[in-house]
Chain A
Amino acid sequence: MRTGSLAALGVVLLAALAVGSVAVAPGDVLGAIVRGLQGRVEQASDVIVWQVRAPRVLLAAVTGAALALAGSAYQAVFRNPLADPYLLGAASGAGFGAAVTIVYGASVTWLATLGVPTVAFVTALVTVSLAVLMARVGGTLPTVSLILAGVVLGSSLSAGTSFVMLADQERTAGVLAWLLGSFAFANWRDVLVLATILVLAIPAGLAARRAFDLMLVGEASAKQLGLPVERFKWLVVVIATLLTAAAVSVAGVIGFVGLVVPHAVRLAVGPEHRELIPLSILWGAAFLVLADLAARTVLAPAELPVGVVTSLVGGPFFLILLRRSRMRA
């Protein structure tokens, strides 16, 4: 399954590189990739494929992988099927930071200098840290308090975002487009930053596969079986938050991937994390690349916000999966 999924992701990546609102012959696509890897950009199609399209495709891939990994980790640690990477307020925090920067960047120079991704990353981290501080009791992180603190902080910040959006109607569409997520101006630097965090997080996620299984049994049993539960929860929250904040800061708030991809994998291969973690990463990447491919080709050369596609297409798809698995059972 893992090898097959990896191969499928490869095919999806190639397809996404080959197709776009501008038609480029397959030979030119391959040529652009080969020349791009050598650091050469020679013809017009090289600019399209290597400088515009390739970072976009790869950013969608690493974002999807990051969100699905964080989502599957949260669902295990919080033993909550509704858990997603945004549970502790990372998305609302990032959204608020982004909205403030987009709307007030013109008058507040330092905001504009930092730029939307940096501000969004910082506000995401600050929000989750606040939730953790609020929920913390001594060295422990009671799960229910943590979720409540995250959800409440998230609601407050979402209200703040709406307020900021309405404060300047000329910027409303811009903020909304950011909130719905976009890979339109993905660049190689964003890809490298997120890929670096992902490369550090993936081994951690894979190494923790047995610990995630233990958490499913319950915190008390996990502790009896030798898992340092509190330390593990802290570690997961820190890594998942870094992943989510980095993903959201470069791609906006893309819903659904982190929630539904792990469930889809679970329906396909069961709840054990030995398969669940690696497959979530691969499927998350493939799903978001396909969603972005649809976003930029369905109405080409106009675009749909990619977050709209993930929810519109992902929702019914998941319901069908759910229905099928229930009928089998």
Chain B
Amino acid sequence: MSCRPWLPATLRSSLTWLLVLLLTHGLAQGTVTDDLGRDVTLDVPATRIVSMIPTHTEKVCAIGACDRLVGVDMFSNYPTEVQALPSLGSAFEADVEALVALDPDLVLTDEYSGLHDVLEPLGIAVYVGTPQTVAEVWEVTRDVATLLGLQDEAEALIRDAIARVDALSERVALGNAPSVFVELDPSPYSVGPQSYLGELLTLAGGANVVAAELGAFPLVDPEYIVAQDPDVLLLLDAPFGESADTVRARPGWRALSAVAEGAIIEFTQPQVDLLNRAGPRLPEALELLIDVLEEYRR
């Protein structure tokens, strides 16, 4: 017996339409789906917001709602005005009592912080999700803006940012890509091209010596780095004491051309924050990378 559809085609398509209609109606303004696939709904735009990770803090401020923040995590330090807000520990070790006492109507945090399990039973809306790629920066910005009722501001911000990224990439079009090793810490952990920082590096015209198949944040064998002999070393661990001197002292690293040429970039803590945080300052982060790689682009 041949397999016949259990419903006539016309009926099926009208049912599909009905379903779409129901779904879109359910997703009225104020509902977004977060990184754990949960729907977060607010009837009115959030006005008392707690941000537990720096990128969310920066996003809220970038769309012009800094004054709606009532508390932030201990790492949120940009823009400077948020430093005056109550500090609530970290997303993973939050001061829940102090957080609840602030009576927020929306908490923005990381998907692994577990805060939603604690706060939602208390009637506090929680949106989880840390952007991990360039595309996610814009997605999460749109989500947060929807919960704040600031969609137009977010679209303007994103348009402007994308235009700046396009303009910056014209600077990169000239010249050859220098090969680059990005050092997150002296283990040494690095970044693959599919990570946010890896994407930025590619946009900045750098050729990552770490290949995609190693993963987003691989621990890399030092002898491989020595053999790759990157043109430039980017030390994101410079604020923690790594430097051109400590790199030169590593076994075998004196032979690297980046060491011989002095092509070792020691980033400052504010620069590391800028590069690590997948947020609205993406064009600035990209410009910083393009600037430091400028002289090695031949």
- Report which A residues bind B (CB closer than 8 A): 20-22, 41, 44, 47-48, 51-53, 55, 102, 105-106, 112, 166, 169-171, 173-174, 177-178, 182, 184-188, 296, 299-305
B239 on interface, CB distance cutoff 8 Å: yes
For the complex formed, measure the closest distance between the CB of A99 and the CB atoms of chain B, giving whole angstroms.
13
Contact of B241 among A105, A184, A187, A303 (CB under 8 A): A105
A44 partner, pick from B75, B227, B250, beta carbons under 8 A: B227
Residues in A whose Cβ lies below 8 Å from that of B221: 20-21, 184, 296, 300-303
With A and B bound together, what is the CA distance between A184 and B223 in angstroms? 9
Q: Residues of A contacting B75 with CB < 8 Å?
A: 169
Task: Name 15 extra pairs, CB < 8 A, besides A44-B255, A171-B185, A296-B221.
Answer: A20-B221, A22-B223, A22-B226, A47-B226, A51-B251, A51-B255, A52-B251, A102-B240, A105-B240, A169-B90, A169-B92, A173-B217, A185-B222, A187-B250, A187-B251
In the assembled complex, the Cα of A191 lies from the Cα of B164 at a distance in Å of 51
- A188: nearest residue on chain B (CB-CB)? B251
- Which 3 residue pairs are nearest across A and B when measured between Cβ atoms? A301-B224, A51-B252, A174-B185
A163 and B219 CA atoms in complex are apart in Å by: 23
Chain B 165-205, CB within 8 Å of chain A: the 1/0 string?
00000000000000000001111110000000000000000
Which of A20, A21, A186: most chain B Cβ within 10 A? A21
Residues on the B chain within 8 Å of A305, using CB: 219
| Secondary structure class of chain B's binding surface, majority of residues | mixed
Which residues of B does A touch, CB under 8 Å? 75, 90, 92-93, 184-189, 214-215, 217-224, 226-227, 237, 239-241, 250-252, 255, 269, 272, 276
B240 A184 Cβ-Cβ under 8 A: no
Give CA–CA (A102, B185) in the complex, Å: 10
B185→A106 contact, CB < 8 A? no
A174 touches B239 (CB 8 A): no
- How far is A162 from B214 in the complex, measured between Cα atoms in Å? 28
A22, A48, A106, A166: the one contacting B90 at CB < 8 Å is: A166
Cα distance A173–B188 in the bound complex, in angstroms = 10
Nearest-neighbor residue (CB-CB) of B238 within chain A: A106
Q: How far is the CA of A52 from the CA of B220 in the complex (A)?
A: 13
**A278 CB to nearest B CB, Å:** 30
B186 touches A52 (CB 8 A): no
Shortest Cβ distance from B218 into A: residue: A302
- State the CA gap A106–B236 with chains docked (Å): 13
Output the least CB separation between A296 and chain B (Å): 5
Min CB–CB distance B94 → chain A (angstroms): 11
Check if B214 sits within 8 Å of A22, measured CB to CB: no
Q: Are A184 and B215 in contact (CB under 8 A)?
A: no
A298 to B223, CA, bound (A): 15
A-B contact pairs, 12 of them (CB 8 A): A22-B223, A47-B255, A112-B241, A166-B90, A174-B189, A174-B240, A177-B189, A177-B219, A184-B187, A296-B223, A300-B221, A303-B219
Min CB gap A312→B, angstroms: 15
CB distance from B296 to the nearest CB of A (A): 21
Cα A177 to Cα B218 in complex, Å, equals: 11
Contact (Cβ within 8 A) B241 A21 = no
Q: With A and B bound together, what is the CA distance between A171 and B241 in angstroms?
A: 12
Give every chain A residue within 8 A of B251 (Cβ-Cβ).
51-52, 55, 185-188
